Chains A and B, each alone.
Chain A
Amino acid sequence: MTGSTARAYGALTPPLPNGVRAAVGRVLHAGVFASATILLSGYVVGLVVDRGLYSSPVVEQAHLAGKAGYPHSLLAVWDGIWRGSIEAIIVAGVLVLILTPVAGLITSAVAFARRRDWLFTAISATVLCVIFGSFLIGWAAA
């Protein structure tokens, strides 16, 4: 190792401990697994309870043309799940998938806060605000 490389180590930030990255990895893994489970259970419920959804030409036309009515607010999804709506269950699975990276971000934000790295805790929080804000903007634009 040359002198300058050795000195380089002193000035570098050591990577976050493997534990933090492993935790982020576990959260992502759990999110992916949860989403796949919800989606599959949606299809199982669909096959058992409501086969009409997959054979009705009216529903089919609406979906292919992009004009179908399906839940696209959190409240409607929550409502739909309790009514046993297959579409709502599938939307929930898709939502869990979408929000999995956000859960990973929250995990690393907590790690930054524990290490009293307030700058990066604030940066993580700002990114979270952007994502949450985009949801509100999309909702308002709908």
Chain B
Amino acid sequence: MPFSDLSVTNLAVAHCQVVRLYGQLYSLPVSIAELSLVLFGVSIAAGVLGSLLGLGGGFVIVPVLTLVFHLDIRLAIGTSIVAVAATSSAGAARNVSGSITNLRVATFLALATTLGAVTGALLAGVFDARFLFTLFGIVLAASGVQMVRKHLTQAEKDPGLAVETVKVATQAEERGGWGDQLADRLALHSSYYDQAEGLDVPYVVANTGLGLGLMYLAGTLSGLLGIGSGVLKVPAMDLAMHIPMKVSTATSNLLIGLTAAASAVVYFARGDIDPLIAGPVAIGILLGATQGSRLLLGIRAGRLRLIFVVVIGIVAAQMLWRGIG
């Protein structure tokens, strides 16, 4: 069904849903003011969850706006991309000054992610809504699987970063060169101070070309679906390019903001970022992302992650249903 045909039903269903949400408190039809308040609350929760679980706000915002409020998915994606930029900037503002983020790697990989983001944002204007729902459902399900994997591997004993790094360094010496030629020329290899181990950990960057390709893909998904796609960016650095997990995570956070900026300007110029919807979401996400860690000091991320995996599964199924059903 084309977007335009949905508008009338959208409106009716959005009213019903929100009125139901408000329960017996309000028997009035919802106004933008009420919608703004609800969005503000949802976004605070999304910001808190995002910063706690390491998911961008996008995975919460798009399903809520489309499944609960029945907004046009492109409008939801435009709103979400603003939320993603907000989560990234708020997080990076806190973390970037620690000596973990690799600015050279972030800058170089931004070449691929921003190009991908523009591609994705342009494609989002072409693909129909059902395709976007389907793809979103698949990516969401995949990230749920990855969260389970992360939970399982965290339970295992870490072999020790320093040991791992010495191995990489020895291998490099035997080969008579570092990771790969591109990484050598760009001088991407570096070191970081690992607080847990109390020492400087050097690392060598490998497979730069492959990493660049994966980053283009991650950027495209980000621009297409309004997500940060850290789900793809972290493994691209961690597994493909052999960058230590901590460095990958911090660097990915910075990259996500740049990627979101590149696609957000396309959505903005196209008129797919509605200020009355994006405004409360932006403030809510900023509040949630900056204050979330304080609020949730007592809660164990591990258990929450498992509960959230179940929620992700249900939401992914619903998005797929909207796409295929």
Interface residue? A118 (CB, 8 A) = no
Contacts A12-B190, A16-B104 known; 14 new A-B pairs at CB < 8 A: A11-B189, A15-B191, A21-B96, A31-B89, A68-B274, A90-B276, A97-B82, A97-B85, A101-B88, A104-B92, A134-B266, A135-B269, A136-B269, A137-B266
CB pair B31 A60 closer than 8 Å: yes
B107 contacts A64, CB within 8 Å?
no
Determine if B254 is an interface residue (Cβ-Cβ < 8 Å).
yes
- Whether A24 touches B265, Cβ cut-off 8 Å, given contacts A66-B72, A127-B110, A142-B270, is no
Interface size class of B (residues with CB under 8 A): 35 or more
Task: Tell me the B residues contacting A by CB distance below 8 Å.
Answer: 3, 7-8, 10-11, 14, 31-33, 35-36, 69, 71-72, 74-75, 82, 85-86, 88-90, 92-99, 101-104, 107-108, 110-111, 114-115, 117-118, 121-122, 125, 162, 165-166, 169-170, 172-173, 178, 186-192, 200, 202, 204, 254, 257-258, 260-279, 282-283, 286, 290
In this assembly, does A82 line the interface, its C-beta being within 8 Å of a C-beta of chain B? no
The docked-state distance in angstroms from the alpha carbon of A104 to that of B101 is 13
Residue of B nearest to A55 (CB): B31
Chain A residues with a Cβ under 8 A of chain B: 2, 4-5, 7-9, 11-16, 18, 20-22, 24-26, 28-29, 31-32, 35-36, 39-40, 42-43, 53-55, 57, 59-61, 63-68, 70, 72-73, 87, 90-91, 93-95, 97-102, 104-105, 108-109, 112, 119-120, 123-124, 126-127, 130-131, 133-139, 141-142
Of the residues A93, A134, A136, contact of B263 by C-beta under 8 Å: A134
Chain B interface mostly = helix
Show 15 A/B contacts (Cβ-Cβ < 8 Å), sorted by A. Answer: A4-B166, A8-B165, A13-B189, A21-B101, A28-B96, A63-B32, A65-B10, A65-B72, A66-B72, A66-B75, A73-B269, A94-B275, A98-B260, A120-B104, A124-B107
When C-beta atoms are compared, the residue in chain B nearest to A9 turns out to be B202
- A142-B269 contact in complex given A28-B92, A63-B274, A101-B258, C-beta closer than 8 Å: yes
Considering the complex, give the chain A residue whose CB is closest to the CB of B126. Answer: A141
A141 touches B102 (CB 8 A): no
Residues of B within 8 A of A32 (CB): 86, 89-90, 93, 286, 290
* Complexed CA–CA distance, A102 and B89 (Å): 10
Residue of A nearest to B189 (CB): A12
A contact face: mostly helix, strand, loop, or mixed: helix
Contact A134 B262 (CB under 8 A): yes
The residue in B187, B202, B273 that gathers the most chain A C-beta atoms within 10 A of its C-beta is: B202
Given contacts A5-B169, A18-B97, A123-B107, contact A53 B32 (CB under 8 A): yes
> B266 to chain A: which residues have CB within 8 Å?
134-135, 137-138, 141
User: CB-nearest residue of chain A relative to B34?
Assistant: A54
Cβ contact within 8 Å between B271 and A72:
yes
Using Cβ atoms and an 8 Å threshold, which residues of chain B touch A126? 111
Q: How far is the CA of A32 from the CA of B165 in the complex (A)?
A: 36
Cβ–Cβ contact B88 & A94, under 8 A: no
Q: Chain B's nearest CB lies how many Å from the CB of A14?
A: 7
* Closest-CB distance, A24 to chain B (whole angstroms): 5
- A141 in contact with B107 given A8-B169, A67-B7, A98-B264 (CB within 8 Å): no
Q: Is the CB of A5 within 8 A of B31?
A: no
* Residue in contact with A64 in the complex, picked from B11, B94, B192, B254, CB distance below 8 Å: B11
Task: Tell me which of B10, B71, B85 contacts A98 (CB under 8 A).
Answer: B85
- Which single member of B35, B115, B257 contacts A104 (CB below 8 Å)? B257
Closest to A87 in B: B275
Given contacts A14-B190, A21-B96, A21-B101, contact A123 B282 (CB under 8 A): no
Partner of B279, one of A2, A18, A20, A94: A94
- What is the chain B residue whose CB lies nearest that of A98? B264
Say how far A32's CB is from chain B's closest CB, in angstroms.
Answer: 5
B110 touches A105 (CB 8 A): yes
Contacts of B162 in A (CB 8 A): 5
Q: Which 5 pairs of residues, A with B, have the shortest CB-CB distance?
A: A101-B257, A138-B269, A138-B266, A65-B7, A28-B93
Q: Bound state CA distance, A2 and B172, in angstroms?
A: 14
The docked-state distance in angstroms from the alpha carbon of A127 to that of B267 is 18
- Report yes or no: A7 in contact with B283, Cβ–Cβ below 8 A: no
Given A105-B110, A120-B104, verify A131-B96 contact (CB < 8 Å): no
